[in-house]
Amino acid sequence: MTATEERVFVKPPSEVAKQRRGEIEDASRLPVKVKIRSLNFYYGGQQALFNNSIDIPAFRVTAIIGPSGCGKSTHIRVYNRIFEIYRSHRAEGIVEIDGKNVLSPVTDLLKLRKKVGMIFQRPTPFPMSIYDNIAYGIKLHYRASRGEIADRVEDALKRGALWGEVKDKLSEPATALSGGQQQRLCIARAIAVEPELILMDEPCSAIDPVATSKIEDLIETLRDSYTVVLVPHNMQQAARVSDFTAFFYKGHIVEFGPTKKIFTNPDNKQTEDYITGRFG
Amino acid sequence: MKESTAAIANVATCAPRDQSRPDAVFKWLAAACALVVIVIMAGIFFELVRNSGMAFREFGFSFLTSDSWNPIAGEFGAASSIYGTLVSTGIAMIIAIPLSIIIAVYLVEVAHPKVSGLIGGAVELLAAVPSIIYGMWGLFVFAALMQTHVQPFLSRHLGALPLFQGPPMGIGVLTAGLILAFMVLPFITAITRDVLMMVPPVLKESAYGVGSTMWETVRFVSLKYGRRGIVGAVFLGFGRALGETMAVTFVIGNSHRISASLFSAGNTIASSLANEFNEASEPIYLSSLFALALVLFGITLVFQTIAHYWVARMQRLEAGDR
Ligand SMILES: Nc1ncnc2c1ncn2[C@@H]1O[C@H](COP(=O)(O)OP(=O)(O)OP(=O)(O)O)[C@@H](O)[C@H]1O
Ligand SMILES: [Mg+2]
């Protein structure tokens, strides 16, 4: 497996995207993928999010930054209502994805989670083969023939920039892959069910710098087809890969804007203190 | 600074202590303790072989294949006991495995924590009930229930099968199998529950995250993740059912016959041993009972070995080198 072969499927960061990051885009001019209004979140009696309101632009990478414990994970875990598997966790407010409030009780959770993929801090390969890890979600959501599934698995692994490394060992257990490969597998697994929004909660915090840069390249290519909400594991990563950044502090959204502006010329004093490393 | 140099000098003047001595003592002591296990195992095996020699010399291989067990004529064959042991254990496992797994899933994934704690506690209590109590309950309560309700129901609806023909007597192979199922159920349930609780939450979240239902998450991810522990639990229950004596003796009917019907009386190796040692006056009778015990020992050993290799194989597969 040579490096050049593997790069084939990782598109180089598109020129458009690079330019896009250079200029400062006006978020209010972009189509909105997720519209959040007065979102409050409670862990039992303890409130963790306060009156969050934000518009996540479609086909952009939005980073969520803030000191540890400020509610970044809590915030993105509302989008796919994954928090609901725990009895005492509760969200209130409006979270509209494509204009539909997903917090409404009539939301089809399975469809919602197909549409909103999630990548976790640690890679979470299922205890099955590499192939089955990807095929699993496809089989959940589609009636596909064996051949179609195989095609989709291949496609997802290519988009996940992993195909070249695993195509000869698809039947091996996914747990035998390296941490970085496992994380790309998880991204491929999420992509396989054709989501529109991908949530990533510190996807690179458990892997080495080389694997991290591969995933950052991958995120770069994802923005062409998906909306990405990313909790980066440090501020450099936010600066490198995101178009927009939201700064969270103690469960409140303090500031939201183009990444370049947030990092160079934030409006809010707290944001500035955080960016310049005065706290956090 | 000065003080610390002084302290170092002080330490250096002490006589060095030989740490390796106690270590060697411990090593030998531990080895001796471990040896006890081997000695007991070998002792049991040796005694069984020695005492069963006469029966095997007399009947040869046909001891295993003959189903005639006639103390008066001095003819002994283990087939009916082997059959009864395997069938009653088989019934127990067929019922207990799915039931235990479903209960464990309910306890971990579905039930309110309070309900789960309550039922979980009951399961643990059930595992601690002595087998004689299962036997008494089985004979006085459950057998009657079988006779008046379950067996008539089965013969009405499944009577076409030879398995469910014959008069409903209450006791018999089926009843013994069910009692065994109740006995191993709490074991398998408790371990499976613990195994399911060990599944990392984030793994479950990922399964839900790609749009799995609860059932799909449990079936394809949680149970798969814990399958090694669950297989271990199943074999533990299996071993218990194979050798269970008191409860089975109460309800199986103790007859050395092989019958197609599960309603008819039968026996297991363990129940025959418990029943008949008192009556075994002739040396060949006694020796045949020892031979039965040796067979049970052998069956247990075979299944233990299978379990061992199965679990080891799964471990290898998970580790990824095959
Ligand atoms: N399961 C939980 N039960 C109770 N409180 C929780 C739970 N998870 C998080 N919290 C609390 O909610 C707040 C926000 O936590 P959250 O995990 O969202 O922070 P975060 O910004 O993702 O932090 P980090 O950068 O460390 O991941 C914290 O005060 C935390 O203690
Ligand atoms: Mg977090």
Residues A109, A113, A115, A116, CA torsion sign: positive
- Lowest-confidence segment of A248-252, B157-161, B288-292 by average pLDDT: B157-161
Q: Do A136 and B317 touch (CB under 8 A)?
A: no
Q: Do B203 and A136 touch (CB under 8 A)?
A: no
Instruction: Tell me how close the Cα of B202 comes to any Cα of chain A, in angstroms.
Output: 7
Interface test with chain B among A126, A128, A182, A194, by most B beta carbons within 10 Å: A126
Q: Quick one: pLDDT at residue B295?
A: 95
Q: How confident is the model at residue A1 (pLDDT cuts 50, 70, 90)?
A: very low
Shortest-distance ligand to the CA of residue A233: 1
Q: What is the pLDDT of residues A142-194, one digit of tens each?
A: 999 999 999 999 999 998 889 999 999 999 999 999 999 999 999 999 999 99
Residue % of chain B over a pLDDT of 70: 95
> Considering only CA atoms, which residue is closest to atom 7 of ligand 1?
A43
Q: What is the pLDDT of residues A92-114, one digit of tens each?
A: 999 999 999 999 999 999 999 99
Residues B183, B126: contact at Cβ < 8 Å? no
Residues B266, B80: contact at Cβ < 8 Å? yes
Cβ-proximal residues to B62 (8 Å cutoff; 6+ apart), any chain: B77
Q: How confident is the model at residue A89 (pLDDT cuts 50, 70, 90)?
A: very high
* Average pLDDT over chain B, rounded to an integer: 89
The pLDDT of B293-319, averaged and rounded, is: 87
- Lowest-confidence segment of A104-113, A207-216, B106-115 by average pLDDT: A207-216
Residue % of chain A over a pLDDT of 90: 76
Quote ipTM for the complex. Answer: 0.88
Interface test with chain A among B202, B205, B206, B213, by most A beta carbons within 10 Å: B206
CB atoms within 10 A of CB B305: 10
Q: Quick one: pLDDT at residue A7?
A: 37
- Residue A266 sits at φ, ψ, to 5 deg, of -70, 150
CA A65 to ligand 1 center in whole angstroms? 14
Q: Quick one: pLDDT at residue A206?
A: 84
Q: Quick one: pLDDT at residue A25?
A: 80
Return the higher-pLDDT residue of A150 and B162: A150
For residue A62, count CB atoms less than 10 angstroms from its CB and return exposed for 0-12, middle for 13-18, buried for 19 or more. buried
Residues A31, A98, A159, B200, CA torsion sign: positive
Instruction: Tell me how close the Cα of B92 comes to any Cα of chain A, in angstroms.
Output: 29
Residues of chain B in contact with residue A173, where contact means CB-CB under 8 angstroms, are: 317-320
Residues of chain B in contact with residue A110, where contact means CB-CB under 8 angstroms, are: 211-213
Q: What is the pLDDT of residues A221-234, one digit of tens each?
A: 898 899 999 999 88
Q: What is the pLDDT of residues B29-81, one digit of tens each?
A: 999 999 999 999 999 999 999 999 999 999 999 999 998 999 988 899 999 99
Residues A188, A126: contact at Cβ < 8 Å? no
For a pocket test of ligand 1, which of A40, A43, A78 has the largest count of ligand atoms closer than 8 A to its C-beta? A43
CA A52 to ligand 1 center in whole angstroms? 15
Q: Quick one: pLDDT at residue B22?
A: 78
The residue extents of the domains of chain A are: 32-275
Instruction: Tell me how close the Cα of A10 comes to any Cα of chain B, in angstroms.
Output: 23
**Amino acid sitting at position B322:** R
Q: Quick one: pLDDT at residue A22?
A: 59
CA A43 to ligand 1 center in whole angstroms? 9
Residue B12 has pLDDT above 70, yes or no: no
Residues B164, B263: contact at Cβ < 8 Å? yes
Q: Quick one: pLDDT at residue B149?
A: 86
CA distance B259 to B110: 42
The pLDDT of B255-277, averaged and rounded, is: 90
Output the pTM of the full model: 0.83
Q: Do B208 and A126 touch (CB under 8 A)?
A: no
Residue A6 has pLDDT above 50, yes or no: no
Interface test with chain B among A78, A84, A140, by most B beta carbons within 10 Å: A140
Residues B61, B310: contact at Cβ < 8 Å? no
Domains (range + CATH), chain B: 53-321 (1.10.3720.10)
Q: What is the pLDDT of residues B197-251, one digit of tens each?
A: 999 999 999 999 999 999 999 999 999 999 889 998 999 899 999 989 889 999 9
Residue B11 has pLDDT above 70, yes or no: no
Cβ-proximal residues to B132 (8 Å cutoff; 6+ apart), any chain: B246, B247
To 10 degrees, the CA torsion angle through B173, B174, B177, B182? -140
Q: What is the pLDDT of residues B69-101, one digit of tens each?
A: 999 888 999 999 999 999 999 999 999 999 999
Q: Quick one: pLDDT at residue B9?
A: 57
Residues of chain A in contact with residue B203, where contact means CB-CB under 8 angstroms, are: 124, 126
Q: Do A113 and B318 touch (CB under 8 A)?
A: no
The CATH superfamily of A32-275 is P-loop containing nucleotide triphosphate hydrolases (3.40.50.300)
Tokens of A268: 């809010």
Residues A90, A94, A98, A100, CA torsion sign: positive
CB atoms within 10 A of CB A255: 20
Residue % of chain A over a pLDDT of 70: 91
Cβ-proximal residues to A3 (8 Å cutoff; 6+ apart), any chain: none
CA distance A163 to A188: 10
The pLDDT of B265-271, averaged and rounded, is: 92
The pLDDT of A245-267, averaged and rounded, is: 94
Integer distance in angstroms from the first to the last C-alpha of chain A? Answer: 41
Q: Quick one: pLDDT at residue B169?
A: 85
The pLDDT of B108-124, averaged and rounded, is: 94
Q: Hey, is the C-beta of B114 within 8 angstroms of any chain A C-beta?
A: no
The pLDDT of B280-300, averaged and rounded, is: 93
Q: Quick one: pLDDT at residue B54?
A: 93
Residues of chain A in contact with residue B117, where contact means CB-CB under 8 angstroms, are: none
Q: What is the pLDDT of residues B169-178, one digit of tens each?
A: 888 999 999 9
Instruction: Tell me how close the Cα of A260 comes to any Cα of chain B, in angstroms.
Output: 31
Longest CA–CA span in chain B (Å) reads: 97
**Amino acid sitting at position A68:** S
* Protein residues placing their CB within 5 Å of the ion ligand 2: A 73
Residue A207 has pLDDT above 70, yes or no: yes
Sheet order of strands, A227-231 included: A116-119, A197-201, A227-231, A61-65, A244-249, A252-258
> Considering only CA atoms, which residue is closest to atom 16 of ligand 1?
A71
Q: Is the CB of A120 under 6 A from ligand 1?
A: no
Residue % of chain B over a pLDDT of 90: 65
Q: What is the pLDDT of residues A14-32, one digit of tens each?
A: 555 555 555 678 888 889 9
Q: Is the CB of A73 under 6 A from ligand 1?
A: yes
Q: Quick one: pLDDT at residue B322?
A: 35
Q: Quick one: pLDDT at residue A4?
A: 39
CA distance B281 to B50: 18
Residue B294 has pLDDT above 90, yes or no: yes
Residue A10 has pLDDT above 50, yes or no: no
